[in-house]
Structure 1
Amino acid sequence: MASGRGRGRYLCPIDGFVVTLGQTGVQLDRPMRLIFRPGEFGRWKHVDEPGSVDAECLERVAGRVLGTGCVVSAHYDPELHLDRPPGWKWQAGLVLVDADDAGDPDTWLVNEQLVYRQCVACASRVPDLPGHHVPTEWTPRRAWVTKGRGRNRRTQVPVDQGPHPVDSLACPDCDPRAISTHR
């Protein structure tokens, strides 16, 4: 993983989390596939089948080829698994391996850099993804939002109560479909 400034944010196709290229994400330099590698789990247990979280990730990419230029979480960095000594006991889990039969490059999965826009209610930055667009006319579930950074710079700012148009962008704090975590 390279250090330094982030070179854009991407949605990892494997786990669905936002990663920053050069910090929490790596770019693939060759076509690869995601597989589950059996191995050790903990000190004494051998695992042959993926658990529920690993199975969900495998299903998300469903045997597709992750193409050259695809950005994935640094957790799946293929370079982490090179140069292991003979007799190394592999930890069970998901790994990226070279795609022997990569097929047509037009079918490869290559993610695009995320575009951030403002929530129409509170002006917070939010990735412009389909899941953040509210399909009906809506009003925010909060009246105030905390803005600013640092201990003494936090202020309460009122949220535009709308109503906001169909298919407009909402952050998780304003989205009326979200389950409230505030009490």
Structure 2
Amino acid sequence: MNGRCPQCEETHNVRISRGRYLCPIDGYIVTLGQTAVQLDRPMRLIWRPGEFGRWHITEPGQGDAQRLECGAGRILGTGCMVSDHYDPDRDRSEWWEKQAGLLLVDGDEPGDPAAWLVNDRLIYRQCAACASRIPDLPDHRVPTERTPSRAWATKGRSQYRRNQVPVDQGPHPAGTPACPACDPRPKSR
């Protein structure tokens, strides 16, 4: 979509955000219209052997194997939002066609549409302690009563207008949202 810039009066390509989603392939948050595409047909994830530099790769690496395992046998349905890295309709070069990696292909015999995976738009909530906005995901909810792991938070959008504000030490009830900085559970890599 093209839009006129109010500062320089020239027409620029404008990408409008139409919601954030959790990519079912790699688990990252993607934004429709910027970093995500919407599938227009049922698709499935496969791994394609091929080249990687001067080597020929026949087995997926650890990261690709984990993504394949999570999506094994699943059909990503019409309307599913995925990272634009996996865009099945992107123009690909001859070089890319030889590369090893994950690929979305048309779902042969996709089965019952009710069983297809179609992700929902993310809902954001405030951290119970510092009030920062975080996606409302099960990983961000602490299952037990807790006190935050920090006492101060940095607030402000500009590097020149940042303030240290105290964090509500609670205790906060079980099931309340917690940002990664306030979450008292041990961090996993």
Tell me if TM exceeds 0.5. Answer: yes
Contact 1:40 1:89 in 2 (8 A): no
Q: 1:74 aligns with which of 65, 84, 100?
A: 84
Encode CA deviations 1:56-100: one digit per residue, 9 max, x unaligned: 000111120000000011110111255x55x97511000000011
What residue in structure 1 maps to residue 17 of structure 2?
A: 6
Instruction: Give TM-score scaled by structure 1 length.
Output: 0.91
CA distance in 2, matches of 1:73, 1:150: 29
- Write the letter of the residue equivalent to 1:173: A
Residues in 2 aligned to 1:89 and 1:106: alpha-carbon distance in whole angstroms: 33
Alpha-carbon RMSD: 1.8
Which residue is 2:33 aligned to?
A: 22
Q: How many residues align?
A: 176
Work out which of the residue numbers 122, 138, 145 in structure 2 matches 1:137. 145
1:88 and 1:16 map into 2 onto residues whose CA distance is 23
Q: How far apart are 1:178 and its partner, in Å? A: 4.1
Mapped contact 1:3–1:23 kept (Cα < 8 A): no
- Cα distance in 2 for residues equivalent to 1:71 and 1:79: 14
Q: How far apart are 1:151 and its partner, in Å? A: 2.0
Deviation beyond 6 Å, 4+ runs, structure 1: none
2:64 equivalent in structure 1: 54
Q: Distance in 1 between matches of 2:49 and 2:90?
A: 17
TM-score of the superposed pair, with normalisation by structure 2: 0.88
Secondary structure at the counterpart of residue 90 of structure 2 = helix
Once the two structures are superposed, the pairs formed by residues 1-183 of structure 1 within 5 Å of their partners are 4-42=15-53, 44-80=54-90, 90-179=98-187
- Show CA shifts across 1:146-166 (max 9, x none): 111222111111100000001
Q: Cα distance, 1:20 vs. partner?
A: 0.5
Gaps of 5+ in 2: 1-12
